[in-house]
Amino acid sequence: MKSFISLIIPLCAVLLALMIGAIMLLSLGANPISGYVTMFGAAFGSLEGFSETAVKSIPLLLVGVGICIAFRANVINIGGEGQMVMGALLATAVALAFPGLPSLMLIPMVLIAGAVGGAFWGSIAGALKAYFNVSEILSTIMLNIVAVQFMNFLLRGFMIDPAEVARGTGIPQTMRLSENADLPILLEGMRMHLGVVVALLVAVGAYFLLWRTAMGYRLRAVGYNPDASRYAGISVPKNVTSALAFSGAMAGIAGAILVFGSESHRMVTDGGSTGFTGSAGFNGIVVALLAGLHPIWSIPSALLFGGMLVGANALQRAAQVPSALIIALNGLIVVFVVSSEYFKQRFLESGRVDIVDEEDTPAGGSHE
């Protein structure tokens, strides 16, 4: 019963958001039913479409899994965007430095570099929270801004494609990165690449980390009740820092995959973070919340949101509805899913006598 309610209420929140989306479609002069049919048909109706959806879901899943870990430790990581950028930058630097290495070495190296870059960026916010009492919400937001400017700086300077300088066009992008770092395509003629496997493995790994290791137990304990954890001899600062490091590492891998799984095989900036990340650093939060902060449930959740992104492009072509609609809709889904927590608690409480102390449950509530 409990897990049924935990599942059904967030889903109702999503449906409500989609209904508002239908009203928006209607007022934009598009038929909402055929609109949604177009969207979900494009995303899940064919193998090509599904392959596209899977590729779009990779960064959402990776960031989302990282968010699961952070939120379970009661750390609100808003820094996915910056952590993706820093991971991608370090991975790109590695590929630029060792272009000659064979794929078997270079691909793992760039993925690890992505993880290291993201983890480094995340752990700065973690250390600031743990040792200087700086709210991670604010520091991660500021670190996003720093990371974006750092990306612009590197892609216009040290890392710019020499051909851009020679031509004088100066588009801020790297050269075509080593082919040895290209993520292998899994299905002939489609875009689905190795990144999908990596993301799934990370999700499963995160599940084991959280529920099958002592480290995961400590992370969850700190999130559930820091005072009791401290009393039990668990270092709160250390675990807060590592929660943000793990979370950042996963976002960093997502950043690396965005570069090496892209069609251009370059890292490009348009000056902002969304141009590179597609807001995955924020949308990953939605994915994790809908999944009840569970890494495995994050997989279907990420596919749903990835599918919406693919569908939005189809909708733009078919009905001239700007794909920005989906960003707005994602925002509504966040708001509704977070608000639905209230109804979930009420339903769960109505069946029980004991009082749930709300302050001690981590942000998104829990599944188990």
Report the residue number, 44 or 343, with the smaller CB distance to other proteins.
343
Span of 35-43, 107-115, 131-139, 235-243 interacting with other proteins by CB under 8 A: 131-139
Positions in 346-365 near other proteins (CB under 8 A): 358-359, 363-364
Q: How far apart are CA 35 and CA 314, in angstroms?
A: 9
Asked if 298 is part of the footprint of other proteins (rule: CB under 8 A), the reply reads: no
Residue in the block written with tokens 């040895």: 180
Select from 39, 53, 80 the least CA-distant residue to 274.
Answer: 80
> Which residues are CB-neighbours of 14 under 8 A, at least 6 positions away?
290, 304, 333, 336, 337
Asked if 325 is part of the footprint of other proteins (rule: CB under 8 A), the reply reads: yes
- CA-CA-CA-CA dihedral for 11, 15, 21, 27, to nearest 10: -170
Q: Encoding tokens for residue 190?
A: 């489609």
Q: Please select the residue that binds other proteins; options are 184, 205, 300, 322, rule is CB under 8 A.
A: 322
Written as one string, the DSSP assignment of 45-87 is SSHHHHHHHHHHHHHHHHHHHHHHHHHHTT-----HHHHHHHH
To other proteins, the closest distance from the beta carbon of 80 in angstroms equals: 10
Asked if 205 is part of the footprint of other proteins (rule: CB under 8 A), the reply reads: no
Asked if 153 is part of the footprint of other proteins (rule: CB under 8 A), the reply reads: yes
Asked if 145 is part of the footprint of other proteins (rule: CB under 8 A), the reply reads: yes
Report the residue number, 183 or 333, with the smaller CB distance to other proteins.
333
> Which residues are CB-neighbours of 20 under 8 A, at least 6 positions away?
329, 332
Report the residue number, 117 or 195, with the smaller CB distance to other proteins.
117
* Number of C-beta neighbours around residue 89 at 10 A: 28
Positions in 173-202 near other proteins (CB under 8 A): none
Positions in 223-282 near other proteins (CB under 8 A): 272, 274, 279, 282
Contact residues for other proteins, defined by CB under 8 A: 28, 76, 78, 128, 132-135, 137-139, 141-146, 149-150, 152-153, 156-157, 272, 274, 279, 282-283, 285-286, 289, 321-322, 324-336, 338-339, 341-342, 358-359, 363-364
